[in-house]
Amino acid sequence: MNDALLSVRNLSVDFSTYGQVSHVLKGVSLDIPEQRQIALVGESGSGKTVTMKAIMGILRQPPATITGGRILFDGKDLLAASATERDRLRGTAMSMIFQDPMSSLNPVFTIADQMGTILKYADRRLGRSRGRKGRMARVHEVLGQVRMRDPERIARAYPIMLSGGMRQRVLIAMALLSEPRLLIADEPGTALDVTTQAQILKLLKDLVEERGLALLMITHNLGVVRETSSYVYVMHNGRIVEEAATAELFAAPRQAYTQNLIASVPRLTGDTDFLAAGTADNEATP
């Protein structure tokens, strides 16, 4: 059918709360070919995070129900696969970089402890094992890969001892531990200052390129889309409303929704017309 590394086909997800059912994803399809950088962009409530959670298998069911569709990784349907098979792929062949470094790290364990534990479970899923020493060597190696100058010292540190940018690097290192083929990044750097965000995005881009990884960048920021992806899916109200090569999307957006979204982004050139842009759509009472 297609040779994408990850292929989401017609994915539909409902949420039911207090007997009310809302269709949160309405037939979402997207492809992430090997070694390509793909962006999934949408505003809050668009369904991008639910899509990501369904792919990673961390969607809480209930309240969510996957009502249809397939998630193919390397041709295998994750929704139909056995638990062992699923676990082997999720968190190892594909891994996730979370948005908020402070809440994704446990404050009472050192970086080495937390990374060691992740590595232990990743090894177990892959049917490998290595001793504590071997794990620490790998932890130091990966911390070096995210350009930490003194990996041993960082490994011994507690999260509180690190700056926001360093914590974000640790999260990237964690995602790299199991040598994944696909990285899923959920708004990396949004909790950071703009100068630190620029460092993180550059690092991520370099890592993905030099290690030949596929990247799914999930973001609300069109600037981040342009800087990190070559192909983009625009999501709105649980649907992919437009997809295009990134350069093409910015040059000639086809859908009214995308056109308005792009027009709403303030530009460094100072010619944004806020009155003409913007929409009352998202301001509708929740």
Q: Which residues bind another protein (CB under 8 A)?
A: 43-44, 147, 165, 193-199, 201-203, 206, 220-227, 250, 260-272, 274-275, 277-286
Closest approach of another protein to the CB of residue 179, in Å: 22
CA-to-CA distance for 235 and 150, rounded, in angstroms? 40
Residue 66 burial (CB count, 10 A): 16
- Biggest alpha carbon distance in the chain? 62
Q: Which is nearer to another protein, 153 or 267 (CB)?
A: 267
β-pair partners for 245 = 231
Residue 63, preceding peptide bond in cis (omega within 30° of 0): yes
Burial 84-95 (b: 16+ CB within 10 A, else e): eebbbbbbbbbb
Closest approach of another protein to the CB of residue 206, in Å: 7
Q: Which is nearer to another protein, 131 or 274 (CB)?
A: 274
Q: Which is nearer to another protein, 29 or 221 (CB)?
A: 221
Closest approach of another protein to the CB of residue 103, in Å: 17
Q: Which is nearer to another protein, 116 or 189 (CB)?
A: 189
Closest approach of another protein to the CB of residue 21, in Å: 21
CA-to-CA distance for 37 and 39, rounded, in angstroms? 7
Closest approach of another protein to the CB of residue 200, in Å: 9
Contacts of 253 (CB under 8 A, 6+ apart): 242, 244, 259, 261, 262
Q: Which is nearer to another protein, 53 or 147 (CB)?
A: 147
Q: Which is nearer to another protein, 107 or 127 (CB)?
A: 107
Contacts of 242 (CB under 8 A, 6+ apart): 233, 234, 249, 253, 254, 255, 257, 258
Q: Which is nearer to another protein, 157 or 262 (CB)?
A: 262
Residue 212, Ramachandran bin (φ over 0: left; ψ between -120 and 50: alpha; else beta): left
Closest approach of another protein to the CB of residue 264, in Å: 4
Closest approach of another protein to the CB of residue 284, in Å: 7
